[in-house]
Amino acid sequence: MTRTLPAAPSLAFEAFTDPNQLRRWWGPEGFTIPSLEFDPRVGESYRIEMQPPEGEAFYLTGEFREVDPPTRLAYTFRWEDPDPDDFETMVELSFCDLGESTEVVVAQGPFKTEARRALHRDGWTDTFNKLEDQLVSQS
């Protein structure tokens, strides 16, 4: 997936690595982030509580594998209580300077089923929409 964000690479990268910013936009539409433990350094872990509009919260965890501001971020991604069709994936984000904007390329996988891939793709789409709104409101 590729998205162009209305911000310089340093600001786009910071949105992904600053816990205070992340809690304002992370997750699909309607989700909130009641708590997060987040230390974006190689080898460190994270845990994000995601609260859907209805139902119980669930938790996303992983470990940072690459943190290279403002061009690259990579981390593992797994649900604490996974669906049988889920297992740990790797998320890799590349930030490319386009002048006044940034192209972000996201690669995530592998997925066990095409349905899980589609679910994550939809989640990323909503998440990027929220991030774009956040960046526009900051400018």
Rg (CA), the chain: 14
pLDDT at 12 over 90: yes
Domain parsing of the chain, residue ranges:
2-138
CB 20 within 8 A of CB 35: no
Give the model confidence (pLDDT) of 84-126 as tens digits.
778 899 999 999 999 999 999 999 999 999 999 999 999 999 9
Full-model pTM: 0.94
3-state DSSP call for residue 3? strand
Please return the burial class of 2, using the count of CB atoms within 10 Å of its CB with bins 0-12, 13-18 and 19+. exposed
pLDDT, tens only, 16-41: 999 999 999 999 999 999 999 999 99
Average pLDDT over residues 44-71: 97
Residue 56 is predicted with a pLDDT of 94
Give residue 17's pLDDT.
97
pLDDT score at 81: 84
Q: Which CATH architecture has domain 2-138?
A: 2-Layer Sandwich (3.30)
Contacts of 45 (CB under 8 A, 6+ apart): 37, 39, 61, 62, 63, 64
- Evaluated on CA atoms 33, 39, 42, 44, the torsion sign reads negative
Q: At how many degrees (to 10) do helices 114-138 and 9-17 cross?
A: 120
